[in-house]
Amino acid sequence: HGILILNGPNLNLLGTRQPEVYGRTTLSDIEAMCRAHGERIGVDVSFMQSNHEGALIDAIHEARGERDGLILNAGAYTHTSVALMDAISSAEIPAIELHLSNVHARESFRHTSYIAKVAVGVICGFGARGYTLAMDAMKSHLES
Ligand code: DQA
């Protein structure tokens, strides 16, 4: 299987951004973890981050027909972006919504998600480990 792991705004700052909320692991540490995990479980990983909504949408369009699954930490766009939701619906590949923090234990504006409406499922609150959990979840979803 091939999966796209897509990261939205401000996630390039992981490691130094509010480490009490998001941990000290950097995005490049996470990418390395995902690539190593992909080799272990036989999943080909593409990994990308952008601060721009349109670039995230382009990446989802490009995944259509090319990738078997999408793991998306859309950052704050999770809570605002109808356009990202529509892109996922149009891509016709299964998506898992992912967050490092437990968004449900935080401010109420983080409790709504446009992504969840079109996702197979949601993983949040497990920090960087959530990425490999999401990969396992996607692999088992694709094989079920
Ligand atoms: C986040 C949660 C979002 O609410 C926030 O805007 C982020 C990061 C997370 O991974 O916990 O940027 O997606």
Distance CA 5, CA 35 (A): 10
Query: Given this model, what pLDDT does residue 17 score?
Result: 87
Report the pocket of ligand 1 as residue ranges, CB < 6 Å.
10, 73, 75-76, 78, 99-101, 103, 110
Domain boundaries, the chain: 2-143
> 58-71, pLDDT tens digit by residue?
999 999 999 999 99
Give percent of the chain with pLDDT exceeding 90.
96
| Residue 40 burial (C-beta neighbours within 10 Å; 0-12, 13-18, 19+) | exposed
Distances (CA, A) of 87 to 4, 59, 79, 82, 91: 14, 10, 15, 9, 6
Asked if the model's pLDDT at residue 29 lies above 90, the reply is: yes
* Ligand 1 probe mutation, 103, 108, 124, 129, most atoms within 8 A of CB: 103
Question: What superfamily would CATH give domain 2-143?
Answer: Dehydroquinase, class II (3.40.50.9100)
Per-residue pLDDT tens over the stretch 92-131: 999 999 999 999 999 999 999 999 999 999 999 999 999 9
pTM (2 decimals)? 0.97
Instruction: Provide the mean pLDDT of the chain.
Output: 97
